[in-house]
């Protein structure tokens, strides 16, 4: 566990973010290895089938993942306020919620697998493979995936970002080995990739539970003494539901883009899948620094250390953008080589997949600084418990900018590239909205602890938030 209310802000946030960043690199290797093995050994159609599953998986699980965000914020603020009994009850409540949610989502995903792919207009020749992969993954992975991320978010809330990393690394290495074994050696097709992920995810969850059982910890789970706290659940829901709704509609927005991309060739769908796996390595620094900043802000609000939040934001913006720009340059200059990892060069349509994917990477990665800055600002507000307005801002940028622009531009001479440019347009609008809300300072009045550490005259003073945000 780590106290984020003490020490130099840039150092504290960096050390807290690094395990999460490294962990998410391995998490993305899960998806990337799946795509590489499938693309190399099963071809472009199988790669497109696997890629079509990810926006759907994200959409149906995003609501629960949003609740874990709310739970992490609740835990971090209680931990900062040193209300340790509430920390334990928060952890129990999250575990119960996520286990039940995982069961429901897994069964529903398996049952409706065929109908979903028909609904989004996936080419008929791809649907059987996509359904095989998706239904297998949902039925075998949902519970373990939700519960693992729930435990990891609680641990991050109390400042422990290293433990989830260790188990995630082991899981990613196991997944890579099983991918090759099941797909290349056993010939199980796309189902083999799904089973590899299922086994690796299940073991990472069990290993995390064993770790919690063997140590004396605030968040140790005990089946006999599990407590579901309705008040904490409502608080986590208040904070996490907007993030969950936001992420669900982000996922549905991804599905809307997938519907537009599905109007083009199988090569375009495969390129979109492969390039999307690659560009996530650029997005990860922004997302993980923002997650670290949320934990930092949550603990410091709980402790009443508002003076540290502004400095933490500035430090995070510098670190996040520096890493993001460096990763973007790698993608822009080595896009072709990266795309060739996903396709067998001897296959006839591989050159077209590489060309389209390289175009995607050049357009998207050239503007990732917009995404990076937007995510960092949202990280501050999320850590404070203010998630409703950022949700509306994100949804506006997605549904009133990205999706309509993608549809319009894809009908022009730009073709599929119009979809790539629409993503940039959505980021620009989202950043403008996030910055305006941050400058308003209203997000400072949404904390879980009800500002018990801030003198009443400061809370009611309308100039305090303006003075705080003006000094960024």
SS3 229: coil
> Cα–Cα distances in Å, from 351 out to 165, 336, 388, 397, 410?
37, 10, 44, 33, 22
Residue 448 has pLDDT above 70, yes or no: no
- The answer to whether residue 318 is domain-embedded is yes
89-98, 242-251, 253-262, range with the lowest pLDDT: 242-251
Which is more confident, 314 or 349?
314
- The answer to whether residue 2 is domain-embedded is no
Its pTM surpasses 0.85: no
pLDDT tens string 288-300? 898 889 888 888 8
Sign for the CA dihedral angle at 433, 156, 325, 340 comes to negative
The answer to whether 445 and 458 are in contact (CB under 8 A) is no
Task: Please tell me the predicted confidence (pLDDT) of residue 456.
Answer: 41
Specify the DSSP element, H or E, that contains 294: helix 266-302
**How sure is the predictor about 318, in pLDDT bands with cuts at 50, 70 and 90?**
very high
Most trustworthy range by pLDDT among 9-23, 29-43, 416-430: 416-430
Which is more confident, 31 or 446?
31
**How sure is the predictor about 80, in pLDDT bands with cuts at 50, 70 and 90?**
confident
CA distance 46 to 43: 6
Task: Please tell me the predicted confidence (pLDDT) of residue 417.
Answer: 93
- The answer to whether residue 303 is domain-embedded is yes
CA distance 213 to 216: 8
CA distance 429 to 260: 21
Task: Please tell me the predicted confidence (pLDDT) of residue 452.
Answer: 42
Angle subtended at Cα 108 by Cα 104 and Cα 114, rounded to the nearest 5 degrees: 165
59-73, 200-214, 383-397, range with the lowest pLDDT: 59-73
The answer to whether 393 and 430 are in contact (CB under 8 A) is yes
The DSSP-derived string for 218-265 is TT---GGG----HHHHHHHHHHHHHHHHHHHHHHHHHHHHHHHHTTS-
Angle subtended at Cα 114 by Cα 110 and Cα 119, rounded to the nearest 5 degrees: 120
- The answer to whether residue 166 is domain-embedded is yes
Whole-number average pLDDT of the chain: 82
pLDDT tens string 335-391? 889 898 888 766 667 889 899 999 999 999 999 999 999 989 988 888 887 777 888
Residues 6+ apart with CB under 8 A from 328: 282, 365, 366, 368, 369
- The answer to whether residue 42 is domain-embedded is yes
Task: Please tell me the predicted confidence (pLDDT) of residue 120.
Answer: 83
**How sure is the predictor about 62, in pLDDT bands with cuts at 50, 70 and 90?**
confident
Give 120: exposed, middle or buried? Use CB within 10 Å, 0-12, 13-18, 19+. middle
- The answer to whether residue 4 is domain-embedded is no
HSE at residue 59, side-chain half, CA atoms within 13 A, is 20
Tokens 């005990």: give the residue: 222
- Number of domains making up the chain: 1
**How sure is the predictor about 451, in pLDDT bands with cuts at 50, 70 and 90?**
very low
162-166, 371-375, 443-447, range with the lowest pLDDT: 443-447
Tokens of residue 357, six digits: 């994917």
- The answer to whether residue 329 is domain-embedded is yes
Instruction: Please give the residue range of the domain that contains residue 77.
Output: 9-470
């Amino acid at each position: 566990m780590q106290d984020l209310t003490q020490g130099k802000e840039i150092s504290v946030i960096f050390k807290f973010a690094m395990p999460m960043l490294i962990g998410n690199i391995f998490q993305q290797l899960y998806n990337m290895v799946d795509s590489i093995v499938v693309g190399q050994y099963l071809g472009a159609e199988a790669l497109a089938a696997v890629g079509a599953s990810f926006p759907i998986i994200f959409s149906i699980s995003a609501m629960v993942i949003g609740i874990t965000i709310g739970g992490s914020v609740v835990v971090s603020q209680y931990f900062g306020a040193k209300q340790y009994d509430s920390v334990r009850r928060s952890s129990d409540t999250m575990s119960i919620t996520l286990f039940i949610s995982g069961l429901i989502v897994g069964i529903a995903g398996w049952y409706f697998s065929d109908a979903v792919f028909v609904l989004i207009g996936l080419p008929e020749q791809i649907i059987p493979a996509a359904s095989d992969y998706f239904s297998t993954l949902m039925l075998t992975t949902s519970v373990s995936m939700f519960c693992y991320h729930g435990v990891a978010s609680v641990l991050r809330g109390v400042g422990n970002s290293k433990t989830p990393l260790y188990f995630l690394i082991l899981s990613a290495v196991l997944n890579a080995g099983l991918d090759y074994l099941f797909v290349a050696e056993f010939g199980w097709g796309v189902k083999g990739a799904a089973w590899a992920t299922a086994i690796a995810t299940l073991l990472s969850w069990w290993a995390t539970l064993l770790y919690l059982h063997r140590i004396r910890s605030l968040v140790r789970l005990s089946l006999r003494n599990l407590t579901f706290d309705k008040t904490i659940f409502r608080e986590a829901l208040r904070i996490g539901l907007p993030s969950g709704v936001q992420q669900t509609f982000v996922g549905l927005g991804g599905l809307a883009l997938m519907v537009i991309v599905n109007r083009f060739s199988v090569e375009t769908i495969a390129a979109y899948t492969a390039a999307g796996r690659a560009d996530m390595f650029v997005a990860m620094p922004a997302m993980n620094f923002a997650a670290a900043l949320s934990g930092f802000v949550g603990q410091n609000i709980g402790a009443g250390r508002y003076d540290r939040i502004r400095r933490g934001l500035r430090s995070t913006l510098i670190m996040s953008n520096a890493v993001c720009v460096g990763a973007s340059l790698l993608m822009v200059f080595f896009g072709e080589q990266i795309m060739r990892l996903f396709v067998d060069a001897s296959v006839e349509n591989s050159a077209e997949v590489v060309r389209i994917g390289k175009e995607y990477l050049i357009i998207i990665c050239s503007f990732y600084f917009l995404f990076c800055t937007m995510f960092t600002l949202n990280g501050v507000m999320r850590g404070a418990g203010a998630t409703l307005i950022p949700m509306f801002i994100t949804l506006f940028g997605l549904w009133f900018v990205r999706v309509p622009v993608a549809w319009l531009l894809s009908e022009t001479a730009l073709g599929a590239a119009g979809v790539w440019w629409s993503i940039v347009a959505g980021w620009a609008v989202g950043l403008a909205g996030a910055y305006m809300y941050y400058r308003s300072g209203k997000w400072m009045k949404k904390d879980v602890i009800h500002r018990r550490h801030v003198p009443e005259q400061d809370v009611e003073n309308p100039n305090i938030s303006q003075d705080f945000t003006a000094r960024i």
